[in-house]
Amino acid sequence: MTADGRLLRNVLHFVRLLRDLGLQVDPHRARLFAQALAQVGVAERSDFYFAARSCLIYRQQDLADFDRAFEAFWRSRFRGGIPLTLPARHRLRAAESGSAENKVPSAGIESEPAQGVGPLAYSAAEALRRKDFSELTAEELDQVKRLMRKTAWRLGLHPGRRQRAGKGRLPDYRRTLRSSLRYGGEPLVWALRQPRPKYRPLVVLADVSGSMEPYSRMLLQFLYGLANGLDQPPEIFVFSTRLSRITRALQSQDAEQALRGVFQEVLDWSGGTRIGEALRQFNLHWARRVLFRGTVVAIISDGLDRGQTELLRSEVARLQRSCWRLMWLNPLLGSLDYEPLAQGMRTVLPFVDDFLPVNNLARLEELALQLRGATAGPRPRRGGLGLHPGRLVDLRAGESA
Amino acid sequence: MDGLQSALREQSYLADRGLATVLFLALRLSRPLFLEGEAGVGKTEVAKALSAALGRRLLRLQCYEGLDIHQAVYEWNYTRQMLHIRLLEARGERAQEQDLFGPAYLLRRPLLEAIDNSDPLPPVLLIDEIDRSDEEFEAYLLEVLSDFQISIPEIGTIRALHPPVVVITSNRTREVHDALKRRCLYHWIEYPTLEREYEILTLRVPGLPDRLARQVTAFVQGLRQMELYKIPGIAETLDWAEALMALDREELEPELVEDTLGALLKVQEDLAALRGDRLRQLLAQVEIGG
């Protein structure tokens, strides 16, 4: 075999290892890798490693998988290049997490309506809209899910940094000059520019701990709807004792597949609640990366916290300072006799801009309408409640008394 | 490759073998290099050192939200255009559009300058903190980097005779689109190891007492193991060492560290977390380690 032939065999073998691990390698990146090897050779382990790494992957999160494939490849070279097969990535994940399947709640997102469920009469649909999510029967759940799919989610617009032709305050020299040529170079008509509006970014942090379980099926459906219904997809995290980012997992055309993805990511479904710790994880590792350009943060939680109050206070305060508007959506707020007496809820209220119920479909539909207005307006008053049900108006006053 | 490594060293930049390999490949294969890593690991410095080491011009494009073609590629010099019109008018002539929108009235911004260069050796183009720009600019950049050409409606298409060496950096404050990264060689820069940071420190802060240099490095390395909102980078280590030198100190002491900690930690919560016992603990570890 020629030297070129051996080189090519090495390249193909290594690329196959990576693909076995679930890493995507474009043919043109594989070709680039072959070119790189022609430059650095295959004798030096470190050179080979960095050449391969720079050509074959382009995301920091793939580094660990890459290293595994590299180890396997380098070892196999000295065994005469026997191709090794590595277990595929998703199987490995399942093995690491124990029996992940067992933790999956029974009902999930459905992209197709269940068979045998006909259209609802208007009044029945209205009644369903008002029924608390936690009290729905399995059949009603399906019906509500179908109704929910019709909810149109829109985020508000805010003036972006980019300019476009329009009636703003900034001059558009280019158009002005062009039109002036028509009048012998006299700029008679001043063309103007205005900011081009952008959608406000949204970040959702959803509580999936044990106490939220009655709501978790609908919650997932809701998150899936948000992830796939907004023009600008939101960043979505879930937490109970730890925080998991499920943004990528939710972005799938196939709802079932999205759901499976979420359960692979989230290892502590229905665990205990440590909101403060989860927010701390968010503030430390994610805030820098997902909070920018006037982001709206929505936390969905009942506020039944088992962690340290002091930690919760400082982290929620920090979160509010780093975002444009902090919304707290609480399913318990829906019931008439609810008072935010839980320690966790009392702690965070002073730092929440909006405090809203999300316990049934009607509330969610209201939220869809409010979200647009709330995210479009001027900067909210800090430390006060913007949107909230009427009877909670002087809640804050009661708190500080 | 060894030559490149020592050339960078002469510019006071210590590139490890991995970085040297990808820089070498970027030059040989004429591919843009996408450097990602936490803030303060020396991504921007790479491009500066590279241009100095290779004796090429450095063109820097600092990205920010809303960065558009007029700041990144070209803009027409409206003031000159207006003056030209006035001048012609005074002579009783009328301005022609093709005169006004010619090369003489073009303000060349970094991207155009890099593509349309007549340097003896093609320049180094540094596109800094791409994660701060928006998706529209990324898409535009993708177009420029795939063909190394730029279209200006009034003039036509300008193609690079000698494509520049492109270095793109990102702090990963957001995910940059895969399409752009796929065009590039990718390299993730880690924080330096203890030995490496010590080397960098002694190279960049000459005159720093050896004992202090070791303590400073060990202390910063210890800090990076803690959960902080903002982890200090190499730049902070260098700043701090210089501050300590300016104070004419030979050794780390709790009060000294507390007074100068602002050079390392820039977030109030981080500073508060480190005062008192934790600082003493960390210093004790440094003593044992050193």
What mean pLDDT do residues A329-356 have? Answer: 80
Q: Of A64 and A187, which is predicted with more confidence?
A: A64
Q: What domain count does chain B have?
A: 3
- Shared domain for B128 and B184, answered yes or no, is yes
More confident residue, A359 or B151: B151
**Does residue A281 register a pLDDT over 60?**
yes
Q: Are residues A249 and A307 in the same domain?
A: yes
Whole-number pLDDT of residue A33: 92
Report the C-alpha gap between B19 and B22 in whole angstroms: 5
**What is the predicted pLDDT for the residue at B189?**
94
> What pLDDT is attached to residue B55?
95
Q: Tell which A residues from 279 to 338 touch B, by Cβ distance under 8 Å.
A: 283-284, 288-290, 292-293, 314, 318
**Inter-chain touch B1–A47, beta carbons under 8 Å:** yes
CA distance B14 to B204: 10
Mean pLDDT of B18-42: 94
Euclidean distance between CA atoms A292 and A310, whole angstroms:
26
**Of A47, A161, A177, Cβ closest to residue B21:** A47
Q: Which residues in chain A are closer than 8 Å to B227, comparing Cβ atoms? A: 284
β-pairing, B185-189 vs A235-239, is: unpaired
**B238 inside domain:** yes
Q: Are residues B158 and B252 in the same domain?
A: no
Please determine, for residue B152, whether its predicted confidence score (pLDDT) is greater than 50. Answer: yes
pLDDT score recorded for residue A274? 86
- SS3 label, residue B163: coil
Best residue in A26, A29, A50, A199 to probe B by mutation, most B CBs within 10 Å? A50
pLDDT of A102 strictly over 60: no
Same domain, A342 and A273: yes
Q: For A286-316, what is each residue's pLDDT tens digit?
A: 888 888 768 889 999 988 887 888 999 999 9
- H/E segment holding residue B168: strand B165-170
In this structure, is residue B90 part of a structural domain?
Answer: yes
Residue A358: band (very low, low, confident or very high) from pLDDT cuts 50, 70, 90:
confident
Instruction: Give the alpha-carbon dihedral of A26, A27, A33, A38, to 10 degrees.
Output: -170
Question: Are A354 and A241 within one domain?
Answer: yes
The pTM assigned to this predicted structure is 0.76
Q: Does A40 sit within 8 Å of B18, measured CB to CB?
A: no
Residue A82 is predicted with a pLDDT of: 40
Is A167 in the same domain as A259? no
For chain A, say whether B16 makes contact (Cβ under 8 Å). Answer: no
**Residue A54 — very low, low, confident or very high, per pLDDT cuts 50/70/90?**
very high
d(C-alpha B170, C-alpha B33), whole Å? 11
Model confidence at A205, in pLDDT bands (50, 70, 90)? very high
Same domain, A167 and A250: no
Going by the DSSP 8-state scheme, the letter that residue A297 receives in this structure is E
- Joined together, the tokens standing for residue A177 give 């000059």
Residue A129 lies in a domain: no
**Structure letter (DSSP) for residue A110:** -
Sign of CA dihedral B141, B142, B146, B149: negative
For tokens 């508060």, name the residue.
B272
The domain boundary residue, chosen from B85, B103, B121 = B103
Q: Is residue B182 part of a domain?
A: yes
The residue-averaged pLDDT of A137-154 equals 76
Residue A37 scores a pLDDT above 50: yes
Mean pLDDT estimate for chain A:
76
Residue A134 scores a pLDDT above 60: yes
- The reply to whether B40 and B150 lie within a common domain is yes
Question: Residue B123 and residue B109: Cα distance in Å, rounded?
Answer: 14
A330 to chain B nearest CA, in Å? 28
Closest partner CB to A55 (pick from B94, B95, B185): B185
Provide, rounded to the nearest whole percent, the portion of chain A with pLDDT above 70.
78
**Chain segment A159-177, per-residue pLDDT in tens:** 777 788 878 778 888 888 8
pLDDT for the residue A97: 42
Higher pLDDT, A86 or B172: B172
Comparing A325 with B195, the larger pLDDT belongs to B195
Domain presence at residue A374: yes
Residues of B in contact with A51 (CB under 8 A): 21-22, 25
Average pLDDT on A23-30 reads: 86
Please give the average per-residue pLDDT across A358-363, as a whole number: 81
Residues from chain A that touch B229, judged by Cβ atoms under 8 A, are 283-284
- What total of structural domains would you count in chain A? 3
Q: What are phi and psi of A325, to 5 degrees?
A: -155, 135
A-B contacts at Cβ under 8 angstroms = 111
Asked whether the predicted pLDDT for residue B243 surpasses 80, the reply is: yes
> Is the confidence at residue B233, as pLDDT, over 90?
yes
> From its phi and psi, is residue A172 left (phi > 0), alpha (psi between -120 and 50) or beta?
beta
Instruction: Indicate the residue among A86, A115, A144 that finishes a domain.
Output: A86
- Residues A166, A275, single domain; the answer is no
Is residue A388 one of the residues assigned to a domain? Answer: yes
pLDDT at position A382 is 56
Same domain, residue pair A263 and A242: yes
Q: Is B132 in the same domain as B253?
A: no
Report the range of poorest mean pLDDT among A158-162, A272-276, A393-397, B77-81.
A393-397
State whether B200 and B245 are in the same domain: yes
Which pairs from B191-197 meet CB under 8 Å and 24+ separation? B191/B38, B191/B41, B191/B224, B191/B231, B191/B233, B191/B234, B192/B16, B192/B41, B192/B234, B194/B218, B194/B221, B196/B14, B196/B16, B197/B221, B197/B234, B197/B237
- Does residue A401 carry a pLDDT above 80? no
pLDDT for A388: 55
Residue A135 DSSP code: G
Query: B159 and B38, same structural domain?
Result: yes
Residue A61 resides in a domain: yes
| pLDDT at residue number B199 | 95
Indicate yes or no: CB of A58 within 8 angstroms of CB of B28.
no
The interface residues of chain B toward chain A in range 85-124, judged by CB-CB distance below 8 A, are 85-86, 88-89, 94-95, 97, 100
User: Is residue B9's pLDDT more than 90?
Assistant: yes
Does the structure show a pLDDT above 80 at B77?
A: yes
pLDDT at residue B278, rounded to an integer: 87
Whether A284 maps to a domain, the answer reads: yes
Q: Give yes or no for B22 touching A (CB within 8 A).
A: yes
> A312 and A240 share a domain?
yes
Residue A379: its pLDDT value, please? 59
Residue A339 parent element (H or E): none
The phi, psi pair for A296, rounded to 5°, reads: -95, 130
Mean pLDDT, rounded, for B229-251: 93
pLDDT band of residue A387 (cuts 50, 70, 90) is: low
Q: Which residue has the higher pLDDT, B94 or B21?
A: B21
Q: Alpha-carbon distance B111 to B74, whole Å?
A: 8
Same-domain check for residues B12 and B115: yes
Q: What backbone phi and psi angles, to 5 degrees, belong to A71? A: -55, -50
Check whether residue B241 and residue B126 sit in a common domain.
Answer: no
Give CA–CA dist B251/B255, Å, rounded.
11
Question: Mean per-residue pLDDT for A178-204?
Answer: 82
Q: Note whether residue B289 is domain-resident.
A: no
Any domain includes B290: no
**Which tokens hold the place of A378?**
């001027």
In this complex, is the C-beta atom of B2 within 8 Å of any C-beta atom belonging to chain A? Answer: no
Radius of gyration of the CA atoms of chain A, in A: 27
- Residue A306 one-letter amino acid: R
The pLDDT assigned to A126 comes to 72
pLDDT tens, residue by residue, B100-126: 888 889 999 999 999 999 899 999 999
* A235-239 and A202-207 beta bridge pairing: parallel
pLDDT tens figures, A211-228: 888 888 788 888 888 888
Lowest mean pLDDT among A120-129, A140-149, A159-168: A120-129
Task: Single out the residue of A239, A240, A257 nearest to residue A248, CA to CA.
Answer: A257
- From A198, A225, A244, give the residue that closes a domain: A198
Q: Residue A12: is its pLDDT beyond 50?
A: yes
ipTM of the complex: 0.78
Q: Domain ends where: B163, B189, B215?
A: B189
Residue A112 resides in a domain: no
B29 touches chain A (CB under 8 A): yes
Domain that includes residue A166, residue range: 162-198
Task: Give CA separation, B251 vs B210, B217, B240, B243, B278, in Å.
Answer: 10, 12, 13, 13, 19
All residues at 6 or more sequence positions from A229 whose CB lies less than 8 Å from its CB, including other chains: A151, A152, A153
Strand partners, B165: B124
Locus of tokens 């790494």: A53
Highest mean pLDDT among B94-98, B173-177, B244-248: B244-248
List, in sequence order, the alpha helices (H) in B30-173. Answer: 43-54, 69-72, 78-90, 97-100, 110-115, 135-147
Average pLDDT on A97-107 reads 39
Token pair, residue A391, equals 């009877």
| Residue B188: closest CA among B25, B59, B49, B22 | B22
pLDDT at A378: 61
pLDDT category of residue B220 using cuts at 50, 70 and 90: very high
Claim to verify: residue B113 and residue B48 sit in the same structural domain: yes
Burial track A104-116 (b if 16+ CB lie within 10 A, e otherwise): beebbbbbeeeee
Same domain, B68 and B131: yes
Q: A95 touching B, CB under 8 A?
A: no
B208 and B274 within one domain? yes
Q: Give the Cβ contact number of residue B101 at 10 Å.
A: 19
Q: Domain check: are B39 and B137 in the same one?
A: yes
Tokens standing for residue A127 = 């009644």
What pLDDT does A99 receive? 39
Single-letter residue type at A227: A
Question: Which domain range does residue B113 map to?
Answer: 2-73+109-189
Both A226 and A307 in one domain: the answer is yes
Alpha helices in A21-62 (DSSP H): 27-40, 45-56
Q: Provide the pLDDT for residue A261.
A: 79
| Residue A156 located in a structural domain | no
In the 8-state DSSP scheme, what is residue A381?
P
Question: Has residue A114 been placed in a domain?
Answer: no
- Amino acid identity of A284? L
Least confident window among A242-256, B25-39, B217-231: A242-256
Closest by Cα among B131, B129, B127 to B175: B131
Specify the pLDDT at position A339. 72
- Among residues A66, A86, A106, the one where a domain terminates is A86
